[in-house]
Structure 1
Amino acid sequence: MIVVDGRTDREKLFELLKSGGECSELDFKETLDFSKKIDELDFVKDAVSMCNRYPGGYIVIGVDDDGNPSARAEDTNWTQFDGAVLTDKIRKYVQAPLTAISQLHEVDRHTYCLVCLLSLEDGLLVPFSKLGQTVDGKGRQIVVFREGEIVRRDGAQNRPIEYTQWAEILKQHDACVRKDESKRMDILVDNIIAVLGEKGKTPPLVYGMDEEALVHSLEACFEQKENEKLSRFIFQVAAEFHDDADAINGLAGIGAYALSYCNDAIFEKAADALYDCYAAIDDSKADSASKKPSCGGCLLRIGRTAGSHEKMGPNCPLRQPSISISFALHICILDTRLPG
C-alpha cells in the first residue's frame, strides 16, 4: 500500500521503488523531454489524473515499469523537473491550485526524480481548462486531452470519470468538508471558552489528529474534567464511523481513558456511542461483515473491563449498580446479534 504523505526524501524513494510496481498512487517513467510538446502534455495529463484520485500519488522518473534504473534516463535534462517548473506546466491547463513537489536523488551513480502530486484538500476533481493538442512527426494532430474533460488515475492508467464513480468521489468530498468543519468548530469553541475566562487551556480535540497529540489532549481533558469537550469529541468521532470504520477504535480509546480516570459520565457516553454505531450498521452494505464484529467487540471488551479495572477502587462511580446494569443490557443485546 502506497502512503501519500507529501514526502520526497531518499527513504521515500526507496520505499516506492520496493513497492512492487505501478498502481493508482504510483507511476514509473524512464525519461521525459519537455522540449517535446507530447512529453509535456503526457506529463500534465498524468499529474492531473493522479491529483484527481484522492489523496494523490507519486511519479518516479528514471526507472522502467518494474522500478529498476533505466538506461534511457542517462541523457535526461534533470533541471527541467524543478517543482516550480512542473507546477507552472500543470496550471497552464487547469484552473485549480494543483502543485508538484519534486526532488532529485543520486543513487549508485544513477539519477532519479521523485515527484509528489497531492489532491485538493476539498476532494473535488479538476477538469482541464484548455485543449491539450500537438502535432506528430508526420504533421498529424494529436489530442492528449480536451477542455472540460475529467480524468482520474485507475491502476496504471488514466481513465475518464464514469457515472458509477461519482458516489465514491462525492463521499470523499463530504468527508473532507466534515473534517474541516469539525476542526474549525472545535477551535471556535475553544476560543469562546478562553474569552469567557473559563477552561480554555487544554489543547483541542480533533478527529484525525496524530496519535501523540491525541493522547496529550485526552489526558489533559480528563485531568481537568472537561466533560463538555470530551462529549463533543465523542459525537465527532461517532459521526466519522459511517465513512471510516477505524473511528470505532477512537471511541474504544475514549472509553478506556474514562475507565482509567473513573469518569462515569464520559464512560457511559462512549459506550452509548459504540452501541449506536453498531445499531446503525447497514446489513446490505459490503462492509457490514467487518464492521459488526469490530464494533461489538469494542463494546464487549470495555464493558467486561469496567468491573475489574486495576485503578478503580471500591468507591469508584463506575462500579455503581446503574453503570453495571447499563452495560449488562448493552452486552446482552449484542450477544444475541453478533455472529457466532
Structure 2
Amino acid sequence: MTELFAVDGTVNDEKLTELLAVGHETQHLDYKRGWDLSKSEAGRKSRLELAVCVAAFANTRLGGYIVVGADNDGSLDHDEPPIDPRQFDEANLSQIVESFISGTVTLHVKVHERAARLVAVIFVGPTQDRLPVIFTKEGTVEPQNPRSAVMFRPGQVYVRRGTKCVPAEHRDWAEVLARLVDQIRAEAREVASDEIQQIMAATPPTSERALRLAVDFDSEPRAFADTLAESAQSESFGRLLRRRVRATAWHREDPNDLSAVLPMLDRLFIAGAHAILEDDEGLLNTVLTCMVDLYRRPMKERAGDLAGALLWRTIAAGAMALGGLAVREEAWAFVGKLAMPPDLSPVREFEGSSRYQSWIRHASTMASRAHLLGAVDQPLPGALIRFARVKAGELPLLADDVTGGASFELHGPILDQDAVLDSLCQFDFLWCTLALLADPSHAGFQTLPGFATFYAHRTVPVIEQLVDRSSLRYELRTALEPEWANALIALDDVATRYGQSTVGWAWSMHGSPSVQQFIAEWGPTSPGLA
C-alpha cells in the first residue's frame, strides 16, 4: 500500500509532525497511547507488545514506525501516564526485544516534547540479513497465572497485516521473504546475464522468445529500464506487456492488497517514460491501454470505496509523473493523451452518475472521499502533484533528465528550484484546461487545480507558451481561440478560489502580459485579466 509518508528511518521532529498528520494507523504506522517498559510486572505487557510490534515491522519489506503517546487518530494522548524517556533508549529497547527473538533488529528512537507531553518515535527497520525475525520464548502476560494470555509462542513469525500485528499465515510469506527473493533474483540475473546475451545473439531480435528472455518484468526498476532500449522497439514487446497486465491480479476481497498491481504499474510508468523520451507514440498508446485496463477493474465499485480509490490514486499519480516528463520534453500530443485517454474519457463514478472528462479528476475525487489524499480533517494541499513528484523520484527515466531533481518527500520542504515539480504543476494546469474545453459549463466539477497550492511562477511558463504558440494549442486539442480564452478565464477563477481555501493565497496568472494580451484579444471582458 502506498503511504502518505516516507518510511525512511528518520525520527526527527519533522517526521513526528508527518506521522501525526496521517491521522490513522497503516501497514507501516502504529500509534500507542503509552507504554510502561519498566522491568516490573506491571510493565511486562508493554514489553511484550513492544516485541510483537518490532518483530512484525522487521518482517516487512520497508519496516515501520511506532509513535508512543498518540491516540489512534494521531492526536496526542493526555489520559495515559507520561512515558519515561529513559525507557526509550535504543539500547534498552533492543535489549527488551532481542530477549524474546532470534534475529537482529534495527531501531532508531527519539523522544520529543509536544504540548507538554513526551512522545516517542520508534523506527523499526527491516532485518539486515533479509531473514525473518522468529520468537524464541513464550510471551505470557502473567507467568504465574496458568490462565494468562499468551501473546506469542516459540517459533512464531509475526507480520504487519493491514493495521494489525498478527502471526504469519501462508498468505503473508510472500511479504516476509520479499527482500530475500529480490536478492536471490538479482544474484541469479547477474549470473545468467552472459548466457542470455549469448542466446539473444543467436536468436533474431524480433522474436518473442528472445524478448521473453531479455525482459524480466519482475526485475528491479533500473534493470527493467535498461532492457527497454532494445526490446521496446519490437511489436512483440507490446503483446508481452498487454499479456502481463491481463494476468496481473487485483484482489477485491482484500482491497488494501496491491502487491501484484503496484510493481506492474511501475513497469508501465517506466515503459511510458521510455516512449516519451524516444517519441514512440505506438508504445505510449500500448502503455495507456494497459493503464486504462487496470483503471477499469474496480469501476463497478461505488464512490468512496477504498478498493478502487487506492488503485486510481496510484495510476493517476503515475499519469501525472509521465505528463510532467512530456511537458519537459515538449511532447504536447502525449500530454493530451495522458490527460484524457481516448479509451477512458469521460469517466463515470458509477452507472448513471455525472461524468468527469479526465481520469485525473475522477481519481482525485475518489481518493479524497476515501481519505487517501491526507488526514481526514487535514487534506494535503496539492496532494496528487506531491504523489506524482514522489513517484517521479522513485522510478528510473521519469526524472533522469533533471540533474539533482530525483528525491522528494511527500510532506517534505518545497525547493525553490525543482524542474520536476514545475513540470507537474504545468501538466496539472493543462489537463484542467483540456477538461474545461471538453465541458466548459462545469469548471468547478471538471477541474481540481492542485497547481494553485504552489506559487504561480511554476505554472505560468506553460501558460505563456500556450497563448503564444497556436501550434502547441493545436497539438493539445482542436479548439478556437475564444474557446481557449474562456477556458483560461474560468480556470483562473477556480484556481484563485481553490488557492485561497486551501493554502490561504490567491493564485493568479494575470501578472503575465502575454496572457493578458491573449485574453483581451480573444476573451470576453474580465476585470482580473483584461
| TM exceeding 0.5 | yes
1:32 aligns with 2:30: no
1:301 aligns with 2:276: yes
Structure 1 residue corresponding to 2:155, chosen from 128, 148, 156: 148
Q: Which amino acid aligns with 2:277?
A: I
Structure 1 residue corresponding to 2:218, chosen from 209, 222, 242: 242
What is the TM-score when the length of structure 2 is the normalising length? 0.41
Please provide the CA RMSD for this pair. Answer: 3.6
Structure 1 residue corresponding to 2:229, chosen from 244, 249, 271: 271
Give how far 1:15 is off.
Answer: 0.4
Structure 1: which 5+ residue stretches go unaligned? 184-237, 252-268, 306-330
Q: Secondary structure at the match of 2:67?
A: strand
The separation in 2 between residues aligned to 1:72 and 1:337, in whole angstroms, is 53
- Please give the residue correspondences for 1:252-271 in structure 2 after superposition, counting only pairs within 5 Å: 270-271=228-229
Q: Deviations 1:263-283 (Å, cap 9, x if unpaired)?
A: xxxxxx752144576554423
Q: Secondary structure at the match of 1:135?
A: coil
Query: For the structure 1 residues 136 and 241, does the alpha-carbon distance in structure 2 shift closer, same or farther, using more than 3 Å as the test?
Result: same
* Residues 61, 178 of structure 2: 8 Å contact kept: no
* Residues 25, 57 of structure 1: 8 Å contact kept: yes
Query: For the structure 1 residues 112 and 275, does the alpha-carbon distance in structure 2 shift closer, same or farther, using more than 3 Å as the test?
Result: farther
1:15 aligns with 2:18: yes
Structure 2: which 5+ residue stretches go unaligned? 191-213, 250-260, 290-342, 344-530
1:87 aligns with 2:94: yes
Q: Deviations 1:69-115 (Å, cap 9, x if unpaired)?
A: 11134433221111110001111111211132110111232211111
Give how far 1:39 is off.
Answer: 1.4
The separation in 2 between residues aligned to 1:301 and 1:54, in whole angstroms, is 31
The separation in 2 between residues aligned to 1:336 and 1:114, in whole angstroms, is 45
Give how far 1:304 is off.
Answer: 2.9
Find the counterpart in structure 2 of residue 255 from structure 1. Answer: none
Q: Deviations 1:279-330 (Å, cap 9, x if unpaired)?
A: 544231234984686465344433338xxxxxxxxxxxxxxxxxxxxxxxxx
Structure 2 residue corresponding to 1:163, chosen from 165, 170, 181: 170
The separation in 2 between residues aligned to 1:19 and 1:151, in whole angstroms, is 24
Find the counterpart in structure 2 of residue 55 from structure 1. Answer: 62
The separation in 2 between residues aligned to 1:170 and 1:153, in whole angstroms, is 13
Find the counterpart in structure 2 of residue 174 from structure 1. Answer: 181
- Please give the residue correspondences for 1:63-78 in structure 2 after superposition, counting only pairs within 5 Å: 63-78=70-85
Q: Deviations 1:112-170 (Å, cap 9, x if unpaired)?
A: 11111001134332110111113189774221100001111112211221212323443
Give how far 1:177 is off.
Answer: 4.1
The separation in 1 between residues aligned to 2:28 and 2:109, in whole angstroms, is 16
Q: Secondary structure at the match of 2:27?
A: coil
Query: For the structure 1 residues 284 and 9, does the alpha-carbon distance in structure 2 shift closer, same or farther, using more than 3 Å as the test?
Result: same
1:43 aligns with 2:19: no
Q: Deviations 1:193-252 (Å, cap 9, x if unpaired)?
A: xxxxxxxxxxxxxxxxxxxxxxxxxxxxxxxxxxxxxxxxxxxxx87742556866x54x
The separation in 1 between residues aligned to 2:92 and 2:136, in whole angstroms, is 19
1:285 aligns with 2:285: no
1:115 aligns with 2:110: no
Query: For the structure 1 residues 52 and 290, does the alpha-carbon distance in structure 2 shift closer, same or farther, using more than 3 Å as the test?
Result: closer
The separation in 2 between residues aligned to 1:149 and 1:142, in whole angstroms, is 16
Q: Secondary structure at the match of 1:141?
A: coil
- Please give the residue correspondences for 1:202-221 in structure 2 after superposition, counting only pairs within 5 Å: none
Deviates more, 1:156-165 or 1:130-139: 130-139
Q: Which amino acid aligns with 1:12?
A: K
Q: How many residues align?
A: 246
What is the TM-score when the length of structure 1 is the normalising length? 0.61
Find the counterpart in structure 2 of residue 129 from structure 1. Answer: 136
Find the counterpart in structure 1 of residue 477 from structure 2. Answer: none
Q: Which amino acid aligns with 1:48?
A: A
Query: For the structure 1 residues 270 and 131, does the alpha-carbon distance in structure 2 shift closer, same or farther, using more than 3 Å as the test?
Result: same
* Residues 31, 72 of structure 1: 8 Å contact kept: no
Find the counterpart in structure 2 of residue 4 from structure 1. Answer: 7
The separation in 2 between residues aligned to 1:128 and 1:24, in whole angstroms, is 21
* Residues 275, 299 of structure 1: 8 Å contact kept: no
